[in-house]
Amino acid sequence: MSDNFFGGLDFGTSGTRISIINCFKELVYSNSVPYPSSFRNPNSWINSCEKLLKNLPIKVKNNLHKLAISGTSGTLIACNLEGEPIGEAIPYDQACNEHKILIQSMTLEEEHLQTPYSSLAKALKLINKYGTNILLRHQSDWITGWFLKDWTRGEASNNFKLGWDLINETWPKSYLNTSWQKCLPQIIKSGEIIGQVDSGLAESLKLNKKLILISGTTDSNASLLAANLEKEDGLTVLGTTMVIKKIIEKPIKEKGITTHKVNGEWICGGASNAGCGILSKFFSDFEIKELSRQINTSKKTSLNLLPLNSKGERFPINNANLEPILEPRPVSDALYLHALFEGLANIELKGWEKLKELTGSFPKKIITVGGGSQNPQWRKIREQIIKIPIVSCKKTTSFGTALLALTAKE
């Protein structure tokens, strides 16, 4: 056991990261690579994954005992019965409005599915396009299937947006007599053993042939595991998009709200279409770092920007037609970056206000993970606007996924 390693692979919006830990939860190796082509292209996921695995140290490859996968919540693909993708994935932030009336009739008691961003809306779009002789799989479930060469199963929290009932552990009754029920995965709980890596794949990548695949989770749930969230804490993930989460007493079903069970606790949260993605449209990482140093965080800009990455918002309001507000742009780049930070902090505040409305309380402190969590000026701006203490966590999402692999029971 002490010689074994445990891996976590996280598939984000722009690339893939791997973390390897030992049995003492110590990070022994990490690496990341960008996708070689579009995020929508499943081959990009596999190409980046293979690159990371091939670059693993020999000792890690030989002793990698368990591996778990996390991916973006709500990114859905259609594949044939052999697991080969058909066309591109529909990403988490794409609204699908084509079957609004049908969805409402099917989900009278499942309000969280009555949004064009739900996986159900994406699934009906894919079925309409490709027919019912397909498999519908979320990003991390499809990649886990690639490791096993078996795409039968799906993980519970990834399939919440597709309609999986986490309490009763069933699909909605309205799905039972549909022609597409067979397209859905067999559900397995997060953190459970699925099977051994395909022997041919293990040989080609020079991995341990006894490597065990563990049922993974969503990327934000993996971030929560990495942050070691307590009951009175809140979590903000500042990646390409922004996600906020907190522990709750009982599940919530509402548009734009996701509910998961992680480490025995019910978690609720929401994901905005705003986040670090909008910053990278205007500035490089180096420019953000340099311009941030010029920001006077004790002053406000008076520019009321709404820095969505694109048209449409999922949370804290659910409006597929909401337009970003990215002007006026001042002459000073530092002032513009300051205004973008403020706009993102205002969205985060509205998110916490929405969760307070649903749960009755604000968190006592906010733990932040993701690329944006390491920016001290942005953190000060957020604290001034949200008025809750904020601390940064340097552990990555893939580290949380590796913890999932370590704690899986054999």
> Do 200 and 243 sit in the same domain of this protein?
no
Supply the CATH number for residue 14's domain: 3.30.420.40
| pLDDT (tens digit per residue) in 113-131 | 888 999 999 999 999 999 9
**What is the C-alpha to C-alpha distance for residues 115 and 314, in angstroms, rounded to an integer?**
8
- Does the structure show a pLDDT above 80 at 263? no
User: For the sheet containing 5-11, what is the strand order?
Assistant: 27-34, 15-21, 5-11, 64-71, 212-218, 193-196
Average pLDDT, the chain: 94
Confidence of residue 7 (pLDDT cuts 50, 70, 90): very high
* Domain-embedded: residue 299: yes
Q: How many domains does the chain have?
A: 2
The predicted model gives 196-224 an average pLDDT of 95
| pLDDT (tens digit per residue) in 280-324 | 999 999 999 999 999 999 999 999 999 999 899 989 998 889 999
Residue type, 125: K
> Do 181 and 269 sit in the same domain of this protein?
no
| pLDDT (tens digit per residue) in 397-407 | 999 999 999 99
| pLDDT (tens digit per residue) in 26-54 | 999 999 999 999 999 999 999 999 999 99
**What is the C-alpha to C-alpha distance for residues 361 and 248, in angstroms, rounded to an integer?**
10
> Do 29 and 58 sit in the same domain of this protein?
yes
> Do 93 and 17 sit in the same domain of this protein?
yes
The predicted model gives 163-181 an average pLDDT of 92
- Does the structure show a pLDDT above 70 at 346? yes
Q: Are 209 and 63 in contact (CB under 8 A)?
A: no
* Domain-embedded: residue 317: yes
| pLDDT (tens digit per residue) in 64-115 | 999 999 999 899 999 999 999 999 999 998 999 899 889 988 887 788 888 8
> Do 360 and 310 sit in the same domain of this protein?
yes
* Domain-embedded: residue 225: no
* Domain-embedded: residue 224: no
CA dist list (Å): 283 to 159, 312, 329, 340: 35, 22, 13, 11
- Does the structure show a pLDDT above 70 at 2? no
DSSP structure string for 220-242: HHHHHHHHT--TTEEEEEESSSE
The predicted model gives 181-205 an average pLDDT of 96
Query: Of 136-140, 161-165, 210-214, which range is least confident?
Result: 161-165
> Do 289 and 192 sit in the same domain of this protein?
no
Other beta carbons within 10 Å of 104: 12
> Do 30 and 151 sit in the same domain of this protein?
yes
pLDDT at residue number 252: 81
> Do 234 and 374 sit in the same domain of this protein?
yes
* High-pLDDT (> 70) share of the chain, %: 100
* Domain-embedded: residue 143: yes
> Do 213 and 76 sit in the same domain of this protein?
yes
* High-pLDDT (> 90) share of the chain, %: 80
Burial of 223 from C-beta contacts in 10 A (0-12 / 13-18 / 19+): buried
Stated pTM of the model: 0.88
> Do 214 and 243 sit in the same domain of this protein?
no
Confidence of residue 207 (pLDDT cuts 50, 70, 90): very high
* Domain-embedded: residue 103: yes
For residue 309, the enclosing domain spans 230-393
| pLDDT (tens digit per residue) in 347-387 | 999 999 999 999 999 999 999 998 888 899 999 999 999 99
